Amino acid sequence: MSYPVDGNYDGGRCPASHPRHMMTLFFEVTYRTDHFANDWYGNSQPFILANGDTTGYGFHGDFVNGWDIPKLTKGINNCLDGEPNCPSETFTFYDQSDTQKCKIAPLLSESVSGTLSALPGCNTPSSGPAEYVPSSCPQDIALAKSLLTPSRLSTAISQSPTLPISIINMSTSKGWTYLGCGTDIAGNRTLNADWEGNNTMTIETCVDFCASKGHTYAGMEFGSQCYCDDTLPADRAPVPGIIANCIMPCAGNSSEICGGNAAITLYQKCGTGGCTPSSISSSTVSTRAHSVKRGRFMRGLDVDVDVEMR
């Protein structure tokens, strides 16, 4: 491989030693730092990347690994030179609400959102140019770091917790099992037989409330709300392995998660056969249509991601 001549990396001429031009994939992430323009003074910006980089130069990549090979091949075949936007039939782009739901359970119990007292992963700030010196790390975090390498990734996945760290296992203590994070709509609740809301809400108190009412399902939402019912619509059910937008701490216990905005943490009462989640009924409601929006941009919270083939 060689760079094009004349310094034109996007479309320059190939050198004689490397006459065949290869496709490039441009990947760009833009952070909305303008939202914090009034939060610091002077000429020194206050941002630090999670890896400890205070300069911003530690996060850059014009190619991101992990692509599905058939889809990448299709993009290469369909996206011709001079067409910055691939044909709409090449890739599927999801809207913001869909992308925000794509979260997996964390391997470690550490803070990664909100105002942080320290960087995740035991990282310490470093401005260079001297080589970064790793800090000492608790055993569990050091173990996770050692596992998250290409050769050991399957081991890390196999050792990941069966439940999210912020979820309580009550299959033995209360006879209820965790289902996952479902979706909810304010005008048409997923669980609507009984409900309560208070500033002392926890997973345990919500399950106890629904159990006292004789219901099969219990759901926590928006940190302080609890909903109960005996049926769960199939189109509102959790996707296995995805914690979705259930990211709000419970009002009565900040170490637990009680749903989120239009997201509901769901538990089910164990049946006579044990604590295995039963099949979710789709007969109680009609399946609601789910639309997928296509577009060039994939957006997240304060982050714009622009992907295009060149």
> Does the residue 187 lie in any domain?
yes
- Provide the 8-state DSSP code for 221: E
pLDDT in tens, 64-78: 566 778 887 887 787
Lowest mean pLDDT among 97-106, 187-196, 221-230: 97-106
CB 160 within 8 A of CB 241: no
How far CA 3 is from CA of 11, 16, 25, 82, in Å, comes to: 10, 11, 14, 19
Same domain, 264 and 186: yes
**Residue appearing with tokens 């996945």:** 157
Q: Identify the H or E element spanning 220.
A: strand 217-221
Same domain, 210 and 247: yes
Is the pLDDT score of 211 beyond 70? Answer: yes
> Does the residue 138 lie in any domain?
yes
pLDDT above 90: percentage of residues in the chain: 21
Cα 207 from Cα 228, distance rounded (Å): 9
pLDDT (0 to 100) of residue 110: 73
Same domain, 265 and 205: yes
Lowest mean pLDDT among 56-65, 95-104, 189-198: 56-65
Report the chain's mean pLDDT, rounded to a whole number: 75
Residues 5-25 have a mean pLDDT of 81
pLDDT (0 to 100) of residue 35: 83
Cα 27 from Cα 303, distance rounded (Å): 13
> Does the residue 234 lie in any domain?
yes
Same domain, 138 and 186: no
pLDDT above 70: percentage of residues in the chain: 68
> Does the residue 46 lie in any domain?
no
Same domain, 264 and 208: yes
User: 196 or 277, which is more confident?
Assistant: 196
> Does the residue 66 lie in any domain?
no
* Coil vs helix vs strand at 264: strand
Same domain, 142 and 180: no
How far CA 35 is from CA of 42, 203, 300, 301, in Å, comes to: 16, 34, 14, 11
Count the domains in the chain: 2
* Coil vs helix vs strand at 140: helix
> Does the residue 295 lie in any domain?
no
> Does the residue 45 lie in any domain?
no
Same domain, 196 and 244: yes
pTM above 0.85, yes or no: no
Cα 208 from Cα 228, distance rounded (Å): 11
pLDDT (0 to 100) of residue 298: 31
Same domain, 187 and 135: no
Spell 220-250 as b/e; 16+ CB within 10 A means b. bbbbbbbbbbebbbbbbbbeeeebbbbbbeb
Same domain, 207 and 252: yes
Q: Which runs of consecutive H residues, i.e. helices, occur in the chain?
A: 69-78, 96-100, 139-147, 153-158, 203-212
Could you tell me which residues are beta bridge partners of residue 240?
Answer: none
CB 285 within 8 A of CB 302: no
User: Band of the pLDDT at 123, cuts 50, 70, 90?
Assistant: confident
pLDDT in tens, 150-177: 444 444 444 444 555 567 788 888 899 9
CB 262 within 8 A of CB 222: no
User: 300 or 3, which is more confident?
Assistant: 3
**Could you tell me how many residues make up the chain?**
310
Cα 87 from Cα 79, distance rounded (Å): 7
How far CA 291 is from CA of 76, 108, 171, 243, 306, in Å, comes to: 27, 34, 35, 21, 21
How far CA 100 is from CA of 13, 51, 61, in Å, comes to: 41, 22, 22
Range of the domain at 223: 176-269
Same domain, 208 and 243: yes
Same domain, 126 and 196: no
Same domain, 212 and 259: yes
User: 98 or 118, which is more confident?
Assistant: 118
